[in-house]
Structure 1
Amino acid sequence: MRRHLPAFPVLGALFLLSGCQHIATVPVGKTPGSTGSAAITTPAADDNLHAVTWMQTSAEYRANSIQTYRAALAQLDAALADPQWDALVPEDRVVPAIGLEPAVVVDIDETVLDNSPYQVRLIRSGLAYDDATWAQWVAEQSARPVPGSVEFAQAADARGITVIYLSNRTLDQRAASLANLRALGFPVADESVYLGKGMPVEGCQQSSGSEKHCRRQWVSRKYRVLMQFGDQLGDFVQPRPNTAENRAALMNRHGSWFGERWWMLANPSYGDWQPALFDNDWSLPPAVQRAAKQRALDARD
């Protein structure tokens, strides 16, 4: 997962934009026309409220995650038995996969760890994502497992398959992240299975530290990758540049891999699909970003 701002629904109010994941909310205020202590207060609108509520409370979210991991597990033995099987695209494969040890590659946030309590804190406080509050959340080691993820990871480990955690959590968050994973029952072979943002990879250059292309190349030197799991397209293959057209083209090229080698977890809260609609320009005012999303909608009218 790459940490970016959430989607903005159609709202009349303008919000303050900060950080890279969440949109700030306006303070709770008085109902228009009311005065004095009898004024009625209402919660401030927040663009991420609907998505986070769905992720925390709906049976549908749990069902979606559980069925994804169960379907992947049903195909894991066939992938392990096939020496030609590989879940890396050719541009990420540096060393031939045949004969390498098997592994599955998983993103962490919203793929195996559920960070929605952190998002709830932002919604309730009216604050936006920032690196300091995110680092504090990671240090708490309070994230819960995404439904079905622990069972799948344990089943892979029981088959001798290494679980690689390829995340855009930073390298200095390795200890806290692995401790959180271990406490929940995720298999962690050693610290080398944590591939965090900022990890140098010899002989590989990329335009952004949050891209995962180079780290997938590192994996390819050591492992035959049976499956990849994520909540963003960039967890599987890198759109360059990140445009709606390029993302659609990658789906046309690799779409058959989903449900077989690649497994996508639902995350309606944030993602690179959003900036793809407004030229990846986070400096644009929220109203301009929302207008771009409105233009992308199709009402068939």
Structure 2
Amino acid sequence: MQHRVLSLSLLACALALGACQRTDTAPAKPLKPAAATVPASAPKSATRPDDNLNAVLWMQASVEYRASAITIYRAAADRLDRALKEKHWDALVPDERGNAATGLAPAVIMDVDETVLDNSPYQARLIRDGKEFDEVTWDAWVAEKKAKPLPGVVDFAKAAAARGVTILYLSNRAEHLQEATLANLRAAGMPVKDDSVFLGLGTVVDDCEQNGSEKNCRRRLAGQKYRVLMQFGDQIGDFVQVVANTPAGRSQLLDDYRDWFGERWWMLPNPSYGGWEPALFNNDFAQPREARREAKRQALDVAP
């Protein structure tokens, strides 16, 4: 632990009077934590600041996060019967519907990650190890099949299934992760009708060209067989195609479909990651981490 060294005159003054004012104007340096507070086994990277620390801790430790998820799924369950009764009720935007929904079997589209399954332990590992997302560590995490369900989601899904509603899992987990994902969903207590309910990244949709991880083609595929009563996600792109991933483009989508939220669309909170973040640094993850962090600092709305 480092301490500022007092001059002999200041020390004498302090001893003699006990209340002398300091004559130096430099701000005091913060004390460094004792070395014993950092476990010897912890990697050095674990002590570095990480943008995701508070976000992941909030998702894991706060009752507010759990209450938010419970509120959303309970409110959605209260809307189920109304959605079923109204023959023209549909949660796909007209541009992605492609065919009439009347007479089709009912379904609910659910994103998987941070909508149904909680992957915060994976994010916590990245923080611990000073790393960022990559496909190798992500695939390894999925293969563990350890993700837990979000609060409230199992009760909602079972209520929907009891009413004859099929749960479709429209996820940006790659198709080769289907088996592990469905096994994890079943272990979490979620209804899984069969393998066809998983529409992962890489699903081929005839006459529809998929743009990166956008889900519009897979939503169109779901709409060919089902009347979609509701959609659940943690990103705006889980509900409608994001043509321009900029703050303005994303805000415009919210303005266009504001009335859909809380009726047909249900958004789960996720402060840990998502399309909102790269929208702040021109979607360029090739930039150094500090350059991306500076772009996020510049995006802050600082009170005067």
Post-superposition offset of 1:298: 1.9
Deviates more, 1:86-95 or 1:124-133: 124-133
Q: Provide the rounded CA distance (Å) in 1 between the counterparts of 2:303 and 2:223.
A: 44
Equivalent runs, 1:186-205 vs 2, <5 Å: 186-205=190-209
Name the SS of the counterpart of 2:109 in structure 1.
strand
Post-superposition offset of 1:216: 0.3
Equivalent runs, 1:135-284 vs 2, <5 Å: 135-208=139-212, 210-284=213-287
Provide Cα deviations, 1:135-189, integer angstroms capped at 9, x if missing partner.
1111111000011001100000000000000001111111111111111211101
TM-score, structure 1 length as denominator?
0.85
Matched, 1:76 2:90: no
Name the SS of the counterpart of 1:95 in structure 2.
coil
Name the SS of the counterpart of 1:229 in structure 2.
strand
Name the SS of the counterpart of 1:123 in structure 2.
helix
Matched, 1:87 2:91: yes
Matched, 1:67 2:67: no
Post-superposition offset of 1:300: 4.0
Provide Cα deviations, 1:20-49, integer angstroms capped at 9, x if missing partner.
xxxxxxxxxxxx999xxx856653222111
Provide Cα deviations, 1:82-111, integer angstroms capped at 9, x if missing partner.
000000001110111111110000000000
Greater C-alpha radius of gyration: 2
Name the SS of the counterpart of 1:164 in structure 2.
strand
Q: Provide the rounded CA distance (Å) in 1 between the counterparts of 2:64 and 2:31.
A: 40
Matched, 1:129 2:133: yes
Name the SS of the counterpart of 1:221 in structure 2.
helix
Partner residue, 1:294: 297
Deviates more, 1:46-55 or 1:280-289: 280-289
Post-superposition offset of 1:121: 1.5
Q: Structure 1 residues 69 and 39, CA, compared in 2 at 3 Å: closer, same or farther?
A: closer
Q: Which has the higher helix share?
A: 2
Q: Provide the rounded CA distance (Å) in 2 between the counterparts of 1:110 and 1:254.
A: 22
Q: Provide the rounded CA distance (Å) in 1 between the counterparts of 2:36 and 2:293.
A: 29
Q: Which runs of 4+ in 1 moved over 6 A?
A: none
Provide Cα deviations, 1:27-81, integer angstroms capped at 9, x if missing partner.
xxxxx999xxx85665322211111111001000000000000000011100010
Structure 2 gaps of 5+ residues are: 1-29, 39-46
Partner residue, 1:111: 115
Partner residue, 1:100: 104
**Matched residues, number:** 267
Amino acid at match of 2:88: Q
Structure 1 gaps of 5+ residues are: 1-31
Q: Provide the rounded CA distance (Å) in 2 between the counterparts of 1:244 and 1:98.
A: 36
Provide Cα deviations, 1:236-290, integer angstroms capped at 9, x if missing partner.
0111121111111111100111111000000000010011112111112223222
Q: Provide the rounded CA distance (Å) in 2 between the counterparts of 1:178 and 1:33.
A: 50
Amino acid at match of 1:279: N
Amino acid at match of 1:245: A
Q: CA RMSD in A?
A: 1.8
Q: Provide the rounded CA distance (Å) in 1 between the counterparts of 2:171 and 2:66.
A: 22
TM-score, structure 2 length as denominator?
0.84
Q: Provide the rounded CA distance (Å) in 2 between the counterparts of 1:266 and 1:123.
A: 20
Deviates more, 1:108-117 or 1:126-135: 126-135
Q: Provide the rounded CA distance (Å) in 1 between the counterparts of 2:50 and 2:298.
A: 21
Q: Provide the rounded CA distance (Å) in 1 between the counterparts of 2:239 and 2:154.
A: 20
Q: Provide the rounded CA distance (Å) in 2 between the counterparts of 1:261 and 1:75.
A: 9
Q: Provide the rounded CA distance (Å) in 1 between the counterparts of 2:164 and 2:299.
A: 45
Amino acid at match of 1:277: L
Partner residue, 1:6: none
The sequence identity of aligned pairs, in percent, is 58
